[in-house]
Amino acid sequence: MDGIISDSQNAFVGGRQILDLVLIADECVDSRLRNGVPGVLSGFFGCSQGIRQGDPLSSFLFLIVMEGLSRLMCRAENLGLIKGFRVGRDITNQVEISHLLFAYDTLAFCDANVSQLRYLRCILACFQAVFELKVNVAKSVLVPVGNVQDISSLAAVLGCRVSSFSIPYLGLPLGVSPRLVGSWDSVIDRLTTRPVSIAGGVGAWKSIRKGWDAFSPHVRFSVRDGSRVRFWEDLWCGNQPLCRTFPRLFSIAVDKHATVANCYQLDNSGITWNVLFRRSFQDWELEDVSIFLDQLYWQEGLGRGYDDLTWIPSSRGHFEVRSLFLCLSNFAPYDLPWKTIWRSMAPTRVAFFVWTAVWRKILTIDNLRKRGNYFVNWCCICKQNRELVDHLLMHCSVAHDCWNLILGLFGMYWVMSHSTKELIHA
């Protein structure tokens, strides 16, 4: 995106930050005030209707649309129709800035001149006609920079209201010196008065809780003080929770939901385990008790620090989305020799077809029916079985004869595999 979007836009582009626009805008205003030349700053707020909320591509598509407005502004600036604010200490090497954009928040800088504002209005009208994005006049303002005469008539050209510094821009005050402590009062008040709440609300935590049953078998607790780990139900000692390893002992435990911290004592001599049971042990339970205590006393690192989670599928113990996907899909990461498909000498379209066939995604009648298209699930070639991917490519009588004919030309006799994936492996 950074190669397509111009420097005047800073939203959703790598390497650009929201604070950059605030600093640039403040420098533009400060430079014009020092020069003593009257000018105006126009703040336009576009309407976001038509942008699909939640769509990950909508923000980037909106950037491309707003790039059209940026190019119109640059074209008008190059033709001399609009003159922006010049910034820079060296007069011979100053930069002229006519607009800044962050998503649908737009700042336009020009001289306090009726003709320039009329050209600016024409640019906005053209942009609205082409892209059907309207400017929210109710939120748009015209701010005088310096001693501007008859500001109300200038605002009437754009049809917006008149405002003055300081104005909020992207959450920070614009038009005041950042060195003044009072200029940051609004930001401090917003941070101190904002109520503290759990991010995402109750609904987010309910969704997380629903997926815990699928997530928890792949995590292991690294116990330190044991205050956050359940003794019987969590995986922290051995290859499975103690309630599954020792079901007889778990059935007679006093507190089945006790934490590890409640079941041991730490003193100068070391750790002493104190797990409470409802009754004395029977003779046939003594072997389980011996293994149980041996397993407990083999644990190391108890008593100091905070408990932590370890992600079992990762060799580093850190959570990875890819490894969770592989666990949930029951797919081994190196189960398929993908290099055989994608790094072969075959054309790209052939490799793509083989890849989709291995994953059983080609548009057979069986897959079309899953998409809501109703056809008779019958092989169009042999008219004997359902049209599945493996049947159509390997087990159909016509396909089987084609395989035998082609392989026979090379003197090969092949026992056909059960599936396309097994065929690629072979």
Over residues 55-108, the pLDDT tens digits come to 555 677 778 888 888 888 899 999 999 998 888 777 778 888 888 888 778 888
Question: pLDDT digit string (tens) for 335-355?
Answer: 667 778 888 888 888 888 888
pLDDT at 199 over 60: no
Q: Does 166 sit behind a cis peptide bond, omega within 30 degrees of 0 on the bond before it? A: yes
Q: Looking at residues 299-309, what average pLDDT do you find?
A: 81
Separation between Cα atoms, residue 310 and residue 312, nearest integer Å: 6
pLDDT at 47 over 80: no
pLDDT-based confidence at 330, cuts 50/70/90? low
Question: pLDDT digit string (tens) for 236-291?
Answer: 888 888 999 999 999 999 999 999 888 988 877 788 888 999 999 888 888 988 99
3-state class (DSSP) for residue 277: strand
Question: pLDDT digit string (tens) for 130-188?
Answer: 877 777 777 788 888 888 888 888 888 888 888 888 777 777 778 776 666 666 666 66
Separation between Cα atoms, residue 146 and residue 95, nearest integer Å: 20
Separation between Cα atoms, residue 62 and residue 55, nearest integer Å: 11
pLDDT at 277: 92
pLDDT at 409 over 70: yes
Phi, psi of 267 (to 5 degrees): -140, -170
DSSP characters for 167-203? EEETTEEESS-TTSGGGGHHHHHHHHHSPP--TTHHH
Q: Looking at residues 28-35, what average pLDDT do you find?
A: 85
More confident residue, 208 or 217: 217
pLDDT-based confidence at 198, cuts 50/70/90? very low
SS3 content of the chain, % helix, strand, coil (to 5): 45, 15, 45
Tokens at 204, concatenated: 């987010």
Contact 396, 403 (CB under 8 A): no
pLDDT at 50 over 50: no
Q: How buried is residue 99: exposed, middle or buried, by Cβ count under 10 Å (0-12/13-18/19+)?
A: buried
